[in-house]
Each structure stands twice: as C-alpha cells, then as structure tokens.
Chain A
Amino acid sequence: MPTQINVNGAMHSVDVDDDTPLLWVLRDVVGLTGTKFGCGVALCGACTVHIDGVPRRSCITTVGSIGNASIRTIETLDANPIGKALQKAWLDLEVVQCGYCQSGQLMSAAALLAGNPKPSDADIDTVMSGNICRCGTYGRIRSAIKQAANQLGSSQESA
C-alpha cells in the first residue's frame, strides 16, 4: 500500500517498502534531487533534511518511520527568514566550492540558527561537525553562519 508523506507542504503518495530510506524516496520517487547521497551510513550529513524541524539524516531514516511528520528539504530552504539569510550569506561569501555537501550544510545551519540565534564559534563547530566537506569550506561556512545570524539579529532589532 502506498505511503503518504508530507514533503515541503505537499502530500505525496509513494509506493515503496516501509524500510526504504527517505533519501531514496525524495530523490527517486518524489524527484527532489537537492538532497544528496554522500555515505549512506549517517556519517557525512549530505542527506540532512528537517523532520518536524529536527535535522535528520535521510539516508538512514526509513520512510515507514515518518508517519504524519512534515519533511522539509533544501528546495524550500528560503521559505523562512533563516533560510533566506543563510542563502544570502552563502552567496555573499561564496561559500560553495564543488557544492556536493552544501545542501546538507545549509539544512544543518538552518537547524542551528533556529535553536541558537547567536552561536559562538564553538557552537557552530559542534553542531556543524556532523557535516563533512571534502573541499574544506569549513571556514567560509562558519563565517556565513555568523553573517546570517547577525543579519537576522539586526533585522529583529529594527523590527
């Protein structure tokens, strides 16, 4: 029987086995290829999505475990101010090199700022340590998260 999943605010009926990793479903069934496969074993963070706001590794999250939860992927990162600020900072600082890890980096960064609007360097390093970048863009990622946090902070103050 097909499973119903809520992805980026839209319901999708997916006819897959319950133990299929969400990453496969997103990419191959729903057609959202922004979320990447890196390692498949929860070690690299490339496949990070949000499930009810919590960052989750979609490569080891079975579709049968999701139920009615809302899945958010990189394709709707800019649907809220945090995502918009992160996108701008990423472009301003030219964070991306090859880009492969970056959708996972951005989803983790969005979860970080949602939980901690003013992260210190140590906070950023701890949370982002779960996302590997083979191109070594870590320094720029940290700067961009800080820029986004500052922008969000100052827009809140002026509001």
Chain B
Amino acid sequence: MFSHRSVATAALLLLSTNVTLADSSGESLRAPKAFDSVRNRTERSVALFTEAGKVLQHPRCLNCHPVERQPTQGDDLHPHMPPVHGGPENRGTKELPCTSCHGPHNTATLGTGLKSIPGSDPWALAPASMAWQGFSLGEICAQLKDPARNGNRTLAQIEEHLAKDHLVGWAWHPGEGRTPAPGTQQIFGELIAAWIKTGAHCPKP
C-alpha cells in the first residue's frame, strides 16, 4: 500500500529525474571557448573531447552503436523490440529491414505511451567496428581516430561526419517522447573541430 510519504518520495524522485533529463537536453554542452582557459594544449584537447563525449555517450547515440548486432532503445538502453539484427549492411535483414518501421522522418503515432517512431533517411545501425556501448570515452576516442575502425576516415572526414551527417543530427531531433542529445550539432561539431585542432588527444582509456 502507498503511504503519503512513499508517494511524496516517488514524486521527488520523479522531479529529480526530470531535472536530470532537462539538464541533458538543454544548454549543457559548452562551446569550445569555455575551454580557452585550459592553457596546456593537450589538456585542452582532452577537455574538449570530454565535453563532446556528453553527446557521444548519450543514449540517442549509444542505442545504435551496440557491441552486439542488435540495437537498444530508451534512455536505459534496453533491448530493441522487436529484437532485430543489423544484418549484412547494418540496415536490418532483407526480410526485416529497419525501414519496416523507420521511415525517412520521425512519425507521430496515435498512441500515448509511445508518441513517435524515430526515422531518418537512411536509418542504420553503426558498423560493428564502431561499437561504443560499454566503452570508456578514451576507448571511443581511440576508435574514432583509427582508420581500421572508423570507416577509413581521416580526422577531417570524422569532423565533417559528426558535424553534418543527417543521422548523427537526428540525435538532436529524436521525435516526441525522446530526450535529445545535449546542445546542438553545431556546437558538437565545433567541439570536435577544436579537439582536432589541438592535436586530437584522447582521455585515458
């Protein structure tokens, strides 16, 4: 049975959860100039990447960078329902492609529990070499710089991809009912550019 106190505690918990959600979706991504005061270039580079890590390790990004070839969902990274597979080209299998549910845009539903189905064109899982779930930020950083694991991209191409890619950009426009990644893709891109300019140093793994 619920006592008044447990209801009050639950309400408080809910409140603090909301505060956390609001924090992570609001203005909490600092632009590169916030790091000008870090005099040491290597330390500044690490600090810039660590700030960008708020995006890289956000659930909107992690859910499609799983270690297994199955995506996860929600802010708690629970298993995707239905339990789909990335398939040979990370777009699902031919028999159950991502496009069965994920169209070119977020689609509003008429339901109340699940307000929208995410969509973007293309909708895809990150390749296995780009798995991030369970990785430390330092490990993600090393992977991003490694052409063997980053899709054979130069650092300039990584910057371009993170700053401009449509599917990366979806993280800030994830549809009703989902917490967006912090800040904006523009600030995120600036952080990555500044990180590269300062030598692309990584946090410790």
Chain A interface residues (CB < 8 Å from chain B): 19, 21, 39-43, 45, 48, 54-57, 59-62, 65, 108, 111-112, 114-116, 123, 126-127, 129-130
Q: When chains A and B are docked, how far (Å) is the Cα of A43 from the Cα of B80?
A: 10
Stretch at the interface among B18-26, B38-46, B101-109: B101-109
B161 CB to nearest chain A CB (Å): 26
- Chain A residues near B111: list those with CB within 8 A: 39-41
User: Which B residues, 68 to 120, have Cβ-Cβ distances below 8 Å to chain A?
Assistant: 81-85, 93-97, 99-101, 103-105, 107-111, 113-114, 117
Check B82 against A129 for contact (C-beta < 8 Å): yes
Check B107 against A55 for contact (C-beta < 8 Å): no
Q: When chains A and B are docked, how far (Å) is the Cα of A42 from the Cα of B109?
A: 9
Check A65 against B104 for contact (C-beta < 8 Å): yes
Q: When chains A and B are docked, how far (Å) is the Cα of A115 from the Cα of B93?
A: 9
Q: When chains A and B are docked, how far (Å) is the Cα of A62 from the Cα of B84?
A: 22
Check A127 against B81 for contact (C-beta < 8 Å): no
Smallest CB gap from B83: residue in A: A129
20 contacts between A and B (CB under 8 A): A41-B109, A41-B113, A42-B101, A43-B81, A43-B114, A54-B100, A55-B100, A57-B100, A60-B109, A65-B103, A65-B105, A108-B95, A108-B96, A111-B96, A116-B95, A123-B95, A126-B84, A126-B85, A130-B84, A130-B96
Q: When chains A and B are docked, how far (Å) is the Cα of A149 from the Cα of B7?
A: 56
- Chain A residues near B105: list those with CB within 8 A: 65
**Interface size on B (CB < 8 Å)?**
24
The 7 closest A-B pairs by CB, nearest first: A130-B82, A115-B94, A115-B95, A41-B114, A41-B111, A127-B95, A42-B101
Check B93 against A60 for contact (C-beta < 8 Å): no
Main secondary structure, interface of B, reads loop
- Chain A residues near B110: list those with CB within 8 A: 21, 40, 59
- Chain A residues near B81: list those with CB within 8 A: 43
Q: When chains A and B are docked, how far (Å) is the Cα of A55 from the Cα of B107?
A: 17
Q: Contact check: which of A42, A48, A108, A114 meets B117 at CB < 8 Å? A: A42
Q: When chains A and B are docked, how far (Å) is the Cα of A129 from the Cα of B82?
A: 6
B61 CB to nearest chain A CB (Å): 21
